[in-house]
Amino acid sequence: MKRRPPPAAPGPRGWPGRGRGAATVVHAPDEWRATTVQACGLWPFAVGAGTPVTGVPLGRNLLSGATLCCDPISWFQRARLISNPSVFVLGRPGLGKSTVVRRMALGLAGYGVLPMVLGDLKPDYVDLVEAVGGQVVRLGPGRGHLNVLDPGEAAAAARRLTGEARQQVLADAHGRRQAIVSALVTVVRGAPPSDREETVLDRGLRVLDDTHDGARLGAPTLRHLLEVLRAAPEAVRAAALDRGDRSRYDEVTEELEATLVGLVGGGRLGRVFAEPTSTPIRRDRPVVVDVSSLDDAQGDLQAAVLLACWSAGFGAISVAHALADAGLEPRRHHFVVLDELWRALRAGRGMVDRVDALTRLNRQRGVGTAMVSHTMGDLLALPTEEDRIKARGFVERAGMVICAGLPAAEMPALTQAVPLSRAEQELLQGWQDPPSWDPGTGPEVEPPGRGHFLVKVGGRPGIPVRLTLTAVERQLSDTNRLWRELSRSAGDDLPAPAG
Ligand SMILES: Nc1ncnc2c1ncn2[C@@H]1O[C@H](COP(=O)(O)OP(=O)(O)OP(=O)(O)O)[C@@H](O)[C@H]1O
Ligand SMILES: [Mg+2]
């Protein structure tokens, strides 16, 4: 028999053959993670992580264990991974959507970006914004008012500006006020105002601006707008196309007048919008608008307050940018959080357009946005096909989409907006399983998918990540605290969060 010649080089287990030291068991080498500054000394044994490391540290990649850093502003501005600085977060209730947005807000605050939470219904963000030294604006019946016609800082800013910049600030403030009045009318009626009513509102606001004695009466309110409408000045009558006939004018504006009376007179929406603003939103500090006093049963009021917050918040940001463009103030970047988006969208036909009008142009204004909603089902439950298509557009246009656990029924609609492979769909469905019921340790067993997210950017493979709360966050982000306090007072002690 012919003998085989000895190999020229050892195999992966060493020199084969008796007495030559070949190993039967090969241990996997240890792996460490380090910064490039530290790891460069180990050349050539260092490999790059597969996940981006620019931005706010979110957690570990579930597959590779590598750290994932991710936030819309850093991914847009520094890493150039996404086409606009926005994120849409979807997932079943209680799986940690608000928590992941809080993490981004906290991390971005560390980078000097100002978080602006426009409407916190739970409240999920108040502790956090207080902890970073921000402003808490309280709104709701008996807690605070927001005058939607108050130009806010826009009037003061316009006085500091000249030429085109000044015109733009004034035009923006006007457009914003018209948009929010139309949005409130939409909420009250459940349907948008007609074209003619919109023109009447537009003229009415202009007349109000020209005739209102701000020095004596302060900022105009909806009450003053109603007075203008009733006084029927020439410009408004022309917009109403009354053809010189006052009774025709009254006919045309009757519906609008009735809606405005409802808004100022404490109708369904109370008087939140009809009084002077109690605390103006600041543009130079982190801000949270606490609207947690509103009851879930007052769905209309919640939607109207959220819209008013967005209008005021985006107004403050646009003033900040106009002043920064003119070199009068330092450039500030904001991270705007629109949590519980579905509540506003559900408030009536045509709401999607209003939301779009109030929150548009985030790229031009150097603003990062985070929109949070439960499921695509929420967006697709809107009354008209037009609204449904536009609502899906929010998800399609977002720079990145972060999904938590979602039911199988969501997948057809979701994959239309974000391409998801079958494996990714199964991952998301696995994360929405209910927690096991454990009477021994009490009812608060973690749902298995809590804190698990899939980060999707366009058609790229998703990055599955697990967010682990830090000790500080655990203290701050315990949104189940109210339950615990309640059950403690009822003598039934729920376990405190781990750690
Ligand atoms: N990664 C995590 N680790 C541990 N606990 C978490 C994590 N994420 C969230 N939680 C806890 O889970 C609870 C619900 O989280 P959160 O409010 O963020 O969920 P949500 O998806 O925003 O819910 P909703 O849809 O009701 O607004 C909170 O008590 C929070 O502290
Ligand atoms: Mg939430």
Q: Which ligand has the minimum distance to the alpha carbon of residue 480?
A: 1
Rg over CA atoms, the chain: 28
| Ligand 1 pocket, residue 373 CB under 6 Å | no
Burial of 97 (0-12, 13-18, 19+ CB in 10 A): buried
| Ligand 1 pocket, residue 97 CB under 6 Å | yes
How far apart are alpha carbons 259 and 200 in whole angstroms?
14
| Ligand 1 pocket, residue 96 CB under 6 Å | yes
Percent of the chain topping pLDDT 70: 91
Backbone angles phi, psi at 366, to 5 degrees: 60, 40
Nearest CA to ligand 1 atom 28: 479
Q: What is the distance between the terminal CA atoms of the chain, rounded to a whole angstrom? A: 69
pLDDT band at 336 (very low <50, low <70, confident <90, very high): very high
Nearest CA to ligand 1 atom 2: 451
For residues 398 and 86, is the Cβ–Cβ distance under 8 A?
Answer: yes
Could you tell me the two tokens for 262?
A: 């409802």
State in Å: Cα 477 to ligand 1 middle: 8
Ligand 1 mutation pick, 88, 98, 306, 428, max ligand atoms within 8 A of CB: 98
The Cβ-side half-sphere exposure at 434, using a 13 Å CA radius, reads: 5
Work out the mean pLDDT of the chain and round it to a whole number.
Answer: 85
pLDDT (average), residues 117-137: 91
Q: Which ligand has the minimum distance to the alpha carbon of residue 90?
A: 1
- The amino acid present at 26, given as its one-letter code, is V
CA-124 nearest atom, ligand 1 = 17
Q: Tell me: the pLDDT tens digits for 392-443?
A: 888 988 999 999 999 999 999 999 889 999 999 999 999 988 777 666 655 5
Place of tokens 């605050």: 109
490 has a pLDDT exceeding 60:
no
Of 65, 59, 52, nearest to 100 (Cα)?
59
In degrees, rounded to 5, the angle at the alpha carbon of residue 198 between the alpha carbons of residues 192 and 199 is 160
pLDDT (average), residues 238-245: 86
| Ligand 1 pocket, residue 447 CB under 6 Å | no
What confidence score (pLDDT) does residue 443 get?
59
pLDDT band at 493 (very low <50, low <70, confident <90, very high): very low
Nearest CA to ligand 1 atom 26: 93
- The H or E element spanning position 287 is strand 287-290
| Ligand 1 pocket, residue 451 CB under 6 Å | yes
The Cβ-side half-sphere exposure at 419, using a 13 Å CA radius, reads: 5
| Ligand 1 pocket, residue 48 CB under 6 Å | no
Q: Tell me: the pLDDT tens digits for 255-304?
A: 999 999 888 876 777 778 888 888 889 989 999 999 998 888 888 888 88
Task: For residue 463, give Cα distances in angstroms to 60, 312, 324, 400, 429.
Answer: 10, 35, 36, 11, 16
491 has a pLDDT exceeding 70:
no
pLDDT band at 362 (very low <50, low <70, confident <90, very high): very low
Percent of the chain topping pLDDT 90: 33
Q: Tell me: the pLDDT tens digits for 13-23?
A: 888 888 888 88
How far apart are alpha carbons 186 and 169 in whole angstroms?
26
CA-477 nearest atom, ligand 1 = 31
| Ligand 1 pocket, residue 435 CB under 6 Å | no
CA-481 nearest atom, ligand 1 = 29
What confidence score (pLDDT) does residue 483 get?
60
Strand partners, 89: 372, 402
State in Å: Cα 94 to ligand 2 middle: 7
| Ligand 1 pocket, residue 479 CB under 6 Å | yes
What confidence score (pLDDT) does residue 99 get?
93
- The H or E element spanning position 463 is strand 463-466
What confidence score (pLDDT) does residue 356 get?
78
Of 60, 38, 42, 40, nearest to 51 (Cα)?
60
What confidence score (pLDDT) does residue 401 get?
96
What confidence score (pLDDT) does residue 498 get?
44
What confidence score (pLDDT) does residue 486 get?
58
Q: What is the pTM of this model?
A: 0.84
Backbone angles phi, psi at 221, to 5 degrees: -120, 180
345 has a pLDDT exceeding 80:
yes
For residues 488 and 499, is the Cβ–Cβ distance under 8 A?
Answer: no
In degrees, rounded to 5, the angle at the alpha carbon of residue 483 between the alpha carbons of residues 479 and 484 is 95
What confidence score (pLDDT) does residue 211 get?
87
Nearest CA to ligand 1 atom 1: 451
For residues 391 and 347, is the Cβ–Cβ distance under 8 A?
Answer: no
What confidence score (pLDDT) does residue 437 get?
67
Buried (b) or exposed (e) across 4-42, using 16+ Cβ within 10 A?
eeeeeeeeeeeeeeeeeeeeeeeeeeeeeeeeeeeeeee
State in Å: Cα 100 to ligand 1 middle: 8
pLDDT band at 206 (very low <50, low <70, confident <90, very high): very high
Nearest CA to ligand 1 atom 8: 96
